[in-house]
Structure 1
Amino acid sequence: MIQPNPSTARRTYRLLPWTLALFTTIARSQPTPPPTPEIEDAPFKPVFVTANPLRSSNLQSPSSELDGNALALRRADSLGETLNGLPGVSTTTYGPMVGRPIIRGMDGDRIRLLQNGVAAFDASSLSYDHAVPQDTLSVERIEIVRGPAALLYGGNAIGGVVNTIDNRIPRDPLDGVSGQVDASYGGANNARAGAAQVEGGNGRFAFHVDAFDRETSTERIPGFARSAGQRALDGPDVPQPYGRIPNSDGRSHGGAVGSSYTWADGYAGISYNGFESNYGSVAEDDVRLRMHQDHIAAASEIRNLQGPFSQLKFNFAYTDYEHKEIDNGETGTTFRNHGYEARIEARHRKIGPLDGAIGVQLSQNTFSALGEEALVPTSQTTNAALFGLEEWSVTDALKLSLGARYEHVRIDPASGGNEKFANSPQRDFNAGSVSAGALFRLNPAWSVVGNVAYTERAPTYYELYSNGPHDATGQYLIGNPDAQKEKAISTDLSLRFASGPNKASAGVFYSRFRNYLTEFNTGRLVNDDDGPVAPGTDDALNEAVYRGVRAEFYGIELDGAWRVFDHGAQRLDVEFVADYTHARNLDTGEALPRISPLRATLALDYAYGPYGARAEMIHAWAQHRVPDNDLPTGSYTTLGVILTYKFRLGATHWLAYVRGQNLTNQEVRYASSVVRDIAPEGGRSVMVGLRTTF
């Protein structure tokens, strides 16, 4: 096992000024400067790599992507907050440094987080206070696929897939040296963030180096940290923070190096990246979380092969992750997760009218929670899967697809001398999934797309074996060692329009689960030994159990942009996004927890030559459909403004921006947040940023 090196990311960041100086010198020494990348977004339609190994630019699965300026202007302190507000996407949020994406009301192990198509093991799906060890400063593109993407990534992608893509292993030939620098300051937590990357090559060998750093203060809020409902439950003797969220500050930093060899028909390369962070738990004033991750990746692609397969793609990643929960300076629990994932995708030559690919995926990871307050036993999870996808272009207007995946999952717990886990049984699961889709073009601008899927998901180690206190979330979690597979039938249908800069999509979705596994608060307050305690007792924990129920999810997603003015150097676009998810327990009719309400975003995007201005109004309705023992959330309306200016200095291209958020200074509490009643989102704030490429 590769041992974590806590100083690796720190050393990488300290080398940043020297790295910039070195590559600036190299760039100046070139007799003929290489072409410099434009700050402008790419004018061509991007090809999705996440949901389809055939690399179709017109996906049947509902999807979104962020790159270029759009990603730079949305960047936040967490991956979840960066994506929050895209169609069907919300965030868990556990303070400004923590946020994992939620898609169509589904979170945890139902959303597959990938780096360049493979897993980077962490502990973010186990608990809402565990950050995703990845900063969007180091990402060049994010792809989000909503709905049942199980044909490629298994049952734990039933809600969708979020794939962050970087160029740490260069995939295309590079000539000369180029780079990028990003810096920003501001926001409700006075975030100071910066990143730099340099890459280059000689047309065959290519290299990549990057480093980033982000540091934040405690977050400013418009009023009380605790909601009115929570303050009423607290009683008169509980301190009520005002104006700031205690213990919400943090820092993360890291970097990467990578190299590849490219040729006309492919590439092969390897990379290393390190990530380190230290942030506070907003639920416990004295609890800090210190996280470290080492990630090694290898990738290769070979095209234009002879024989039955025309293309072969290979991805491999090994991750060593650790984080410690430190209470009053003493380590209470240490979480570790290390393992590998490997995927091979082979695209075959056409078989009659069928164009398709098959693949195999292998993974193994070992998760442990060590300490007197261990939450789960040390558990090794092994997964082996086969999958395939076939497409048939019946006519120029009609395309059909069929995908399938079969996987075997084994979970092997070890008590490690802890009596709580002495009788934890080994579990084996065989899970199968199948999906079918159709895309029908009504005319060059309009199309109808539909998908249906049957998906099975094996329960995770924490859903099976949890039995212990988790101080960072203020819960005592109890798993179900006899839990069975989740089974779901899902479908979605959408009408799409695309003509030049104008585009729109209106879709509906429906998923019906048998044995949907989720946390339910029992209403009991307990101590670290799961013994009942009275309200107001110091260090009291909310008891929560994992339970399987019949459940259904359905909703709508609207997304569109229309150019209403285009004359000379001026243009004006109107954009609209709205989504709604309804989720309930079919056994009781009760609402499922942490479901975002109806939300709508209206934006005006204006450009005049190098100048740009964007005004965005977001309204979220109140969420009163909550389970027993949960409090509702109120409605809010926020206003945001972004001003941009693009310019050029010599061979460098620059983007300067000012971003104002929540200018109405609203109290914003996400219904999807487990800490919504003690930690709202930030108040009125302004951020300034600068981005350059050379």
Structure 2
Amino acid sequence: MKKIIITLILGFSAILQAQNTISGKITDTKKQPLIGVSIYAPELHKGTSTDENGKYTLENLPNGKLKLTLAFIGFTTQNKTINLQQNETTLDIILDETAFQIDEVIVSTAFNKIQTQNVMKVEHSSIKELQKKGTATLIEGLATIPGVSQVSTGTSIGKPVIRGLSGNRVLVYSQGVRLENQQFGDEHGLGLNDAGVESVEVIKGPASLLYGSDALGGVLYFNPEKFANANTFKVNYNQKLFSNTLGSNSSLGIKTSTDNWKFSARGTYDIHSDYTIPDGNRVTNTRYNETDFKTGIGYSNSKFSSVLRYNFNKLDLGIPENGVAEQTTSKKTDYPSQAIDNNLLSLNNIFFFKNSKLDVDLGYIANDRSELAEGNIAVLHMKLKTFNYDAKYHLPKLGKIESILGIQGMQQTNKNSGEKYLIPDAKTNDFGIFGTGNYEWKTNVIQAGIRFDNRKISSESHGIIGNEGYFETLDKSYDSFNASVGYKTNLAKNFILRGNLASGFRAPNLAELTSNGVHEGTNRYEIGNPNLKTEQNVQTDLNLEYKNSHLEFFANGFYNSVNNYIYTSPAGTQINGFDVFDYVQNKANLFGGEIGLHFHPHPLDWLHFESSFETVTGKKQNGNFLPLIPANNWNNTISTDFNIKKWLEEGFATLNVSSTFNQNNVSGFETKSNGYTLVNLGFGGKIKLGKTAFDINLNANNLFDKTYIAHLSRLKTDGIPNIGRNIVLGLNFNI
């Protein structure tokens, strides 16, 4: 079967002639060949690895400048820019050993530098590293990154919070396009499964220069799973089991590539019962199941690279309303529940010219969201359709100056067909144009840019004047100019300083402009304000980073000033027995940062100690605190690397102690939260039994079954604790 598939794909590319070829040998500083080094051309979605002699070859490459990333565990990542002007190029490389993690190429910023060359500090984490922590969902894993938290509803729904900003203030990108899925509501999750995702990058701060509206607070950028190396075929299966929810996650993927064509597909099914709290009871109707399918096909030659990807995600989520009530281990959701279908289609293209290139990304998202009541009646049914386009032209390099001109846009429609309207039928149109430049000399880099955006929102009237669910006709237009400037330098050997000043904006969303009714899960009557202005912020970031062969240290500080910050405020009246909350605006300030270290003592090469502390404070102009600000957290991990004879390789064991402090800085309608400490254990590695090899990880989260309630839990008002002890077993096979 393997030979048949490869032969069929080879048939498509048989008529193609190779243009440029790079080959060479990769060694360590002792000139010993390195086996299995990854050589990857991100723009072509194409890679290979070194053989037993440290040699490699990449064929069918375009003329002009091409970026290559060379990565190998235990060695410093190198990012090479090669100017291809002849048919065959030889490139021999020496890699230096390092005790720390690989320095990854950052895709979410404009010029795709490795992190040590990047002006902006971006957190990068592979999904594999997040999964080692045994978290049940993608958002739980993200919340372990310093500066990132989550607004949660049980274990099934989580919304990212970056430095105190959440909802529409955090933009999510998947498959190179912005993810749109009615994300304005606290009870709406990401709708994104971590299967088929390679890594995530977190921009902590305004990124409107590159992404437009809704990137005021930051960006989560998910990189798809890489295609197979040229002329290979791979099958992967992984299975995870969860003791607390009696849950199961199964995922099967295949991928294959030739020199020009590449293909991948992955299917995943996730199912869980109600989660158990430390007293042994289950929180009723927190059960859920998820079906996810991702596939992609790509083609590249000497002139262009194109990748077409599709992602279908189906969620069936129970909505907890009665707290600890009926006790069951059933995995079939009860009412009320949410049924969500999300279809994401993306086309990513790069056109190569002699000294420049053009990136064109197109995306279409169809989000179908229902809230079902007893009898399978769709009380709420919204269909959101979004078309995105993004074109960036990388101009020819002028000396040491790199520059980009770009346009972006979005066309979106929302339609209701349920009994209840949360927001009206509406259309949204975005258009933005920007330019940015990067100047690098020695160890210094300056990057700056400017952008203009326009958002138009129009909605239809609905309902009866004076009644709940009535919406007036809306026709609004919002303009915004934004700019950013950043500087990076090496103060001394291994010591990096970064400073960034950037503005961002967010146009009001439909819920804030038009709400007129009891909002789901809040038990309050919310009234929108059609006269809301655009949120506009300016954030200052400072990053210090030191790294040598045994110690890595970082300190990040930020100050974020937000004009026209939108929030809900109690009106002091009631409608139909519910307290009324109005959408209002005020100036707000957020400040804080993260600090951390990674210590790798010599000669104890197998021992690692990591510690990080994060804090954020959010205040309105009148001195009152902002809502939904995460509590301070101190996270400590001791880990070891080891091998056991010939049957366990790349072994690891971790002890994590995460301390969350009291949150007493709360807004007028929030309650204070007590601090808590959780202890987590992890163990795993690659097991070899003859010719069979598989990865295993075993985690015990909340080891001592601690009873706690997270400050950002939406079940907090009902006094419902978070999940108790959870044992997670994961197996991963490559066939």
Shared fold per TM-score greater than 0.5: yes
TM-score w.r.t. the length of structure 2 is 0.81
Residue 573 of structure 1 aligns with an amino acid whose one-letter code is H
Separation in 2, partners of 1:649, 1:250:
36
Separation in 2, partners of 1:619, 1:258:
41
What secondary structure, in the 3-state scheme, does the structure 1 residue paired with 2:474 have? Answer: coil
Q: Which residue of 1 aligns with 2:251?
A: 195
Residues 138 and 195, structure 1, Cα contact 8 Å, conserved in 2: no
Q: Which residue of 1 aligns with 2:473?
A: 424
Bigger shift: 106-115 or 462-471? 462-471
Quote how far apart the aligned CAs of 1:455 are.
2.4
Q: Which residue of 2 aligns with 1:317?
A: 363
What secondary structure, in the 3-state scheme, does the structure 2 residue paired with 1:317 have? Answer: strand
Answering whether residue 677 of structure 2 is matched by residue 640 of structure 1, we say no
- The ranges of structure 1 where at least 4 consecutive aligned residues each deviate by more than 4 angstroms after the TM superposition are 22-30, 34-43, 416-422, 521-524, 649-653
CA RMSD, Structure 1 to Structure 2 (Å): 2.7
What secondary structure, in the 3-state scheme, does the structure 1 residue paired with 2:195 have? Answer: helix
Q: Give 1:208's match in structure 2, choosing from 243, 264, 269.
A: 264
> Residues 24 and 601 of structure 1: is their aligned pair in 2 closer, same or farther, counting only changes over 3 Å?
farther
Answering whether residue 611 of structure 2 is matched by residue 553 of structure 1, we say no
Separation in 2, partners of 1:206, 1:187:
38
Q: Which residue of 1 aligns with 2:301?
A: 263
Quote how far apart the aligned CAs of 1:355 are.
1.3
Q: Give 1:508's match in structure 2, choosing from 557, 564, 588.
A: 557
Q: Which residue of 1 aligns with 2:412?
A: 365
1:489-638 mapped onto 2 (5 Å cutoff): 489-500=538-549, 502-522=551-571, 530-531=575-576, 533=577, 541=578, 543-567=580-604, 571-587=606-622, 589-609=623-643, 610=649, 611-638=651-678
Answering whether residue 722 of structure 2 is matched by residue 681 of structure 1, we say yes
Residue 309 of structure 2 aligns with an amino acid whose one-letter code is S
Q: Which residue of 2 aligns with 1:231?
A: none
User: Cα deviations across residues 172-214 of structure 1 (Å, max 9, x unaligned)?
Assistant: 8631211322211014322210112111022212111110010
Separation in 1, partners of 2:611, 2:446:
30
Residues 77 and 135, structure 1, Cα contact 8 Å, conserved in 2: no
Quote how far apart the aligned CAs of 1:677 are.
3.1
User: Cα deviations across residues 354-378 of structure 1 (Å, max 9, x unaligned)?
Assistant: 2121211111111234433211111
Bigger shift: 173-182 or 337-346? 173-182
User: Cα deviations across residues 607-641 of structure 1 (Å, max 9, x unaligned)?
Assistant: 11222100000001010111122211110000000
Answering whether residue 476 of structure 2 is matched by residue 476 of structure 1, we say no
Answering whether residue 159 of structure 2 is matched by residue 109 of structure 1, we say no
Quote how far apart the aligned CAs of 1:422 are.
4.8
Answering whether residue 163 of structure 2 is matched by residue 163 of structure 1, we say no
Q: Give 1:133's match in structure 2, choosing from 174, 180, 191.
A: 191
Separation in 2, partners of 1:264, 1:67:
30
Quote how far apart the aligned CAs of 1:26 are.
6.2
Separation in 2, partners of 1:323, 1:449:
42
Residues 146 and 159, structure 1, Cα contact 8 Å, conserved in 2: yes
Separation in 1, partners of 2:404, 2:48:
36
Quote how far apart the aligned CAs of 1:66 are.
1.6
Quote how far apart the aligned CAs of 1:251 are.
0.2
Separation in 2, partners of 1:72, 1:208:
21
What secondary structure, in the 3-state scheme, does the structure 2 residue paired with 1:484 have? Answer: coil
Separation in 2, partners of 1:41, 1:357:
33
**Identity over the aligned pairs, expressed in percent?**
20
Q: Which residue of 2 aligns with 1:306?
A: 354
Residue 582 of structure 1 aligns with an amino acid whose one-letter code is T
Separation in 2, partners of 1:572, 1:83:
24
Residues 447 and 497, structure 1, Cα contact 8 Å, conserved in 2: yes
Separation in 2, partners of 1:161, 1:42:
29
Quote how far apart the aligned CAs of 1:257 are.
2.3
Gaps of 5+ in 1: 1-21, 224-241, 534-540
Residues 509 and 556, structure 1, Cα contact 8 Å, conserved in 2: yes
Quote how far apart the aligned CAs of 1:671 are.
1.5
Quote how far apart the aligned CAs of 1:282 are.
2.1
Residues 400 and 438, structure 1, Cα contact 8 Å, conserved in 2: yes
Separation in 2, partners of 1:653, 1:357:
45
Separation in 2, partners of 1:204, 1:675:
51
Count of residues paired in the alignment: 630
Answering whether residue 177 of structure 2 is matched by residue 118 of structure 1, we say yes
Separation in 2, partners of 1:70, 1:353:
36
Residue 506 of structure 1 aligns with an amino acid whose one-letter code is A
Separation in 2, partners of 1:644, 1:580:
31
Answering whether residue 53 of structure 2 is matched by residue 53 of structure 1, we say no
Q: Which residue of 2 aligns with 1:230?
A: none
Separation in 2, partners of 1:654, 1:75:
17
Residues 414 and 421, structure 1, Cα contact 8 Å, conserved in 2: no
Quote how far apart the aligned CAs of 1:148 are.
1.6
Q: Which residue of 2 aligns with 1:282?
A: 320
Q: Which residue of 1 aligns with 2:159?
A: 100
Residue 596 of structure 1 aligns with an amino acid whose one-letter code is P
Quote how far apart the aligned CAs of 1:287 are.
1.3
Residues 507 and 558, structure 1, Cα contact 8 Å, conserved in 2: yes
Residue 128 of structure 1 aligns with an amino acid whose one-letter code is D
> Residues 493 and 35 of structure 1: is their aligned pair in 2 closer, same or farther, counting only changes over 3 Å?
closer
Query: Which has the bigger relative contact order, CA under 8 A and spacing at least 6?
Result: 1
Q: Give 1:666's match in structure 2, choosing from 697, 703, 706.
A: 706
User: Cα deviations across residues 436-455 of structure 1 (Å, max 9, x unaligned)?
Assistant: 11112112300111111222
Residues 404 and 435, structure 1, Cα contact 8 Å, conserved in 2: yes
Residues 154 and 713, structure 2, Cα contact 8 Å, conserved in 1: no
Residues 429 and 458, structure 1, Cα contact 8 Å, conserved in 2: yes
Answering whether residue 310 of structure 2 is matched by residue 272 of structure 1, we say yes
Residue 611 of structure 2 aligns with an amino acid whose one-letter code is F
Gaps of 5+ in 2: 10-46, 52-70, 78-102, 324-334, 644-648
Separation in 2, partners of 1:23, 1:189:
38
User: Cα deviations across residues 89-135 of structure 1 (Å, max 9, x unaligned)?
Assistant: 00011110111110000001110011033112201x22111121111
Q: Which residue of 2 aligns with 1:5?
A: none
